[in-house]
Amino acid sequence: MPTAAHPAAATAAKASKKTSKSAAKSSKASSDPSTSSTAAKSTNDSIDIKNIPLQISDYLILPVSLPPLSCMTKVAGPDAVYHFLYVRPHEPKVPTPTAERSLFVVNVPIDATEAHFRALFADHLGGGRVESVEFEGRRSESKGNVAPMVAEGGLSVSGKKRKRGGQEDDAALMAMMRDPAAAVDLPDTWDRQLHRSGSSAVVTFVDRASMDLALKAIKKSRKSGQAKIVWGEGVEGTGKVPELGIHRYMAHQMLRYPDPDDIKASVNTFMERFSNMEAARDRMRARLRNQADEDGFVTVTRGGRAGPARQEEALEKLEKQKEKSKGKEDFYRFQLREKRKEKAAEMLRKFDEDKKKIEEMRRKRGKFRPE
């Protein structure tokens, strides 16, 4: 696949050189490295976008240029710096209802948010409307990722928040039994989540058409090589997402120390739920104790009348019992004899070990040479 894509890209690059706009651009790019020494260093990195193949494996390559940053001048000079997204239709192993209108995006920037993708597709790539973005990683599974609203008071649509307040059904209790962590509801300490470098995301569009539109737009923009897509344009600095830098860390400093009352409320909710859960579990166990399965057996469960309250204690007791039943050492002559034998074997083993050690040390020369 890449081999096929490569010549095409090359010809595309040749063709586009003829147009005046891009010729000026490319001449600028080629002259810059020679003039500035810092930029010369980065020639490895600065890439002529025209040379980038259209596709890699079955992913479309989408270069997005990054806005100029004052601190980056030493690294890249006036060259544009690119980030590369790899995009293809989402094909999960286990099909989901939204899969067919979703794109799978690899190599998401660490500071990407849903707003970024919305803007990217709406403003630059055909105007398709994004319904939601699901980022890779646990964080995005359990907690909302578009944060500003979250802080406001749980308006977002993550699963666990919905549970709050409402009468918990058995299914919720069962879920909590499996993983009580899901029920923890402490306030967030960051106003915007970061992603691991190189991670992926699933972008779900409102409908299949929007998705197709987006895919087509990507191809088109690559082929024409004209429109420069700038990452975060119209998102960063417009109040749509929390700011990065010092503001982010100051905000974190505030969020790290929530109001004690908020914490208290959240702990209380959890504890209440937890005790509900425990009660439910005990009920369930009690039920199981009295219920024979279809073969007529009763499953043995914890928490009967006589059993110790905790498993470890039971294990400890068992251990002690074993110790007792062992009998005395050094009582019979054969025990002594065995012991002596063992000792001799042990000494031999140690001697061998020492020899090995020496051998090892000898290999690393200098251990035996006085300094």
Partner 1 sequence: MASHIPKRRKLDHASSSENETDEESFVDAAKQIPIKTESMQPSSQKHAPQNKNREPTDPAPAFSAEVYKSNLFKLQTDELLAEVRPNFAERLVAVDNALRKIKGIIEEIPDSGPITFSEATTKFQKLDKIQVPFPEPKPQSDPNYKLEYSRPSAINVVGSYVLKTMAKSNSIFTVDVAVVMPSEIFQEKDYLNYRYFHKRAFYLACLAKGLNEAKDCRFSLKFDLLHGNLLQPVLIVESFDGSGDYDFSKSNARIQIIPTIPETTFNKSKTMPEKNSVRPNRDAAQSKASLMEPTPYYNATIRADCSLLSYNKFLHTASAFAESYRDCCILGKIWLRQRGFGGGVHDGGFGSFEWAALSAMLLFGGGPRGRNVLSPGYSSYQLFKAVLQFLATRDLILHPLAFESDLQATKSDSPVIFDGSRGLNILFKMTPSSYQRLRFESQLSIQMLNDSLFDHFESTFILRSNEALQAFDVVARIPITCLPAGTTNLPKEMSSEVQILAARIFNVLRQGLGNRARLVSVSPPALAPWALKSKKPNFSGRLEFEIGLLLDPSNANRTVDQGPPAEEKQEAASFRKFWGPKAELRRFRDGRIIETVIWSTAETGTSVIQQIISWILSRHFGDEVAAQTTLFGDDFKKLYTKFGMGNLDILHSFQSIESAFATLERDVRGIEDLPLHVRQLSGSDAQLRYTSITLPSAESLHLQDRPADVVLQFEGSGRWPDDLVAMQQTKIAFLLKIGESLQALGRGIVVRPGLENELYSKMNSAFLDIFYPNHFKFRLRIHNDREQALLEKQVVDRSLDPRSRDEAVKALSAYKRMFVHSPLHTQTFKSLCTRFPLLGPTIRLVKRWFDAHLLSNHFYPELIELIVARIFLRSYPWQPPSSLTTGFLRTLAFIARWDWRSEPLVVDLSTESTEMTAQDIEAISARFSTWRKLDPAMHRVALFAASNLDLEGIAWSESRPSKVAATRLTALARSACLAVKNAGMHLDPATVFSTSLADYDFVVRLNQRLLKNFRTNKKSSSDFKNIRVQSAENLDLVDCDPVRSFLNELEDCYSNNIVFFNDSNTSSFIAGLWSPSTAPRPWKVGMTYSSQPSCEKDETQIQVNKSGILHEIGRLGGELILDIEARRC
According to CB under 8 A, which residues from 69 to 88 bind partner 1? 69-76, 81-84
Hey, how many other C-beta atoms are within 10 angstroms of the C-beta on 338?
Answer: 11
On whether the CB atoms of residues 89 and 72 are closer than 8 A, the answer is: no
Tell which positions 5-64 bind partner 1, by CB under 8 A: 5-6, 38, 41-42, 44-47, 51-53, 56-57, 61
CB of 78 to partner 1, least distance (A): 13
Tell which positions 126-145 bind partner 1, by CB under 8 A: 138-139
Nearer to partner 1, 108 or 215 (CB): 108
> Is residue 66 close enough to count as binding partner 1 by CB under 8 A?
yes
> Is residue 260 close enough to count as binding partner 1 by CB under 8 A?
yes
> Is residue 306 close enough to count as binding partner 1 by CB under 8 A?
no
Tell me how far apart the alpha carbons of residues 96 and 89 are, in angstroms, rounded to a whole number.
13
Pairing status of strand 59-66 against strand 81-89: antiparallel
Tell which positions 166-195 bind partner 1, by CB under 8 A: 180-181, 183-184, 186-190, 194-195
Tell which positions 195-224 bind partner 1, by CB under 8 A: 195-198, 200
Crossing angle of the two packed helices 170-178 and 260-290, in degrees rounded to 10: 100
On whether the CB atoms of residues 158 and 141 are closer than 8 A, the answer is: no
- Determine the interface stretch with partner 1 among 148-156, 214-222, 284-292, 304-312 (rule: CB under 8 A): 304-312
> Is residue 369 close enough to count as binding partner 1 by CB under 8 A?
yes
Tell me how far apart the alpha carbons of residues 202 and 135 are, in angstroms, rounded to a whole number.
6
3-state secondary structure 204-262: EECCHHHHHHHHHHHHHHHHHCCCCCECCCCCCCCCCCCCCCHHHHHHHHHHHCCCHHH
CB of 182 to partner 1, least distance (A): 9
- Determine the interface stretch with partner 1 among 91-99, 121-129, 157-165, 264-272 (rule: CB under 8 A): 264-272
Nearer to partner 1, 129 or 301 (CB): 301
- Residue 19 is classified by DSSP as S
> Is residue 303 close enough to count as binding partner 1 by CB under 8 A?
no
Bridge partners (DSSP) listed for residue 130:
205
Give helix then strand counts, H and E, for the chain.
Answer: 14, 6
Nearer to partner 1, 209 or 318 (CB): 318
Number of residues interacting with partner 1: please give it, by CB under 8 A.
98
Among 26, 107, 132, 276, binds partner 1 (CB under 8 A): 107
Phi first, then psi: what are they for 103, rounded to 5°?
-110, 145
> Is residue 362 close enough to count as binding partner 1 by CB under 8 A?
yes
Hey, how many other C-beta atoms are within 10 angstroms of the C-beta on 267?
Answer: 13
Nearer to partner 1, 68 or 127 (CB): 68
